[in-house]
Chains A and B, each alone.
Chain A
């Protein structure tokens, strides 16, 4: 009984931060030296429905700083967006937001 309780407590401690659905997730696009800048802009317009200007701004942030958080929100949707970006071969990662 004690052993079981200890196991449950350990499991809870380990998984609870990761399974928190409320915590927002960031979709991050990273710079790479091969992908064309205007291709990145087009993909951001296509995937998120952003205006061309906003997509261009985010693309320039990727180009100048090496990365840009292009979307923040629910984990499930973040995964969908990350998958769509990787479908176009944009170097994309996911991370839980600190906010």
Chain B
């Protein structure tokens, strides 16, 4: 029997199975990454929006507080779903159900977490390719695997929003395998 992560659409949501402890650890990090107070994360999730100082101040005063509330609310949705993770019988692996009504929150949360991992590990565009990753530090390699896992889950949740056939797939997110995540010690 394969122990690779799988995902199926079920009545009322998406079921992710055979999630290893390292994958669960990565998922549990998602709400924490969204809530991070690290300046690099905040700068990416709440970026400078207007080049004019006065316009930017207006944006910070009016738009940003609402965005912050939304991000925190999403982190709570993800945390609640993660609290329902069930360990499979006779296995160290687990399964997670993401209800249909939480799919949009998860999609955005997974994106936020991927962006946060990227900036927190000083990654560059080069690190997003298999070749570039060979020269990365072990920490960056681990972050890249976590980013890939979260991308794989996003891909499932995006469903029929697959790319058009024949697109230029430069910078594709299918460049490497997420199975190596278990090779890293999760501390």
Instruction: Name A residues whose Cβ lies closer than 8 Å to a Cβ of B.
Output: 18, 32-39, 41-42, 46, 52, 56, 60, 63-64, 79, 82-83, 86-89, 91-95
Contact = CB atoms under 8 A, between A and B. Distances in A.
B59 A94 contact: yes
Contacts, number: 90
B185 to A, nearest CB: 24
Interface of B: 44-52, 54-55, 59, 62-63, 66-67, 70, 104, 107-108, 111-112, 114-115, 118, 124-125, 128, 147, 151, 154-155, 158, 161-164, 167-168, 171, 173
The SS class assigned to the A binding surface is helix
Given A33-B171, A39-B111, A91-B47, A83 B55 contact: no
B162 A38 contact: yes
Given A33-B125, A39-B107, A39-B154, A56 B164 contact: yes
Given A33-B128, A64-B168, A38 B161 contact: yes
Contacts of A95: 50-51
A78 to B, nearest CB: 10
26 contacts: A32-B115, A33-B125, A33-B128, A34-B115, A35-B111, A35-B114, A36-B111, A36-B151, A37-B163, A38-B162, A38-B163, A46-B104, A82-B63, A83-B63, A86-B46, A86-B47, A86-B49, A87-B70, A88-B108, A89-B44, A89-B111, A89-B115, A92-B47, A92-B49, A93-B51, A94-B50
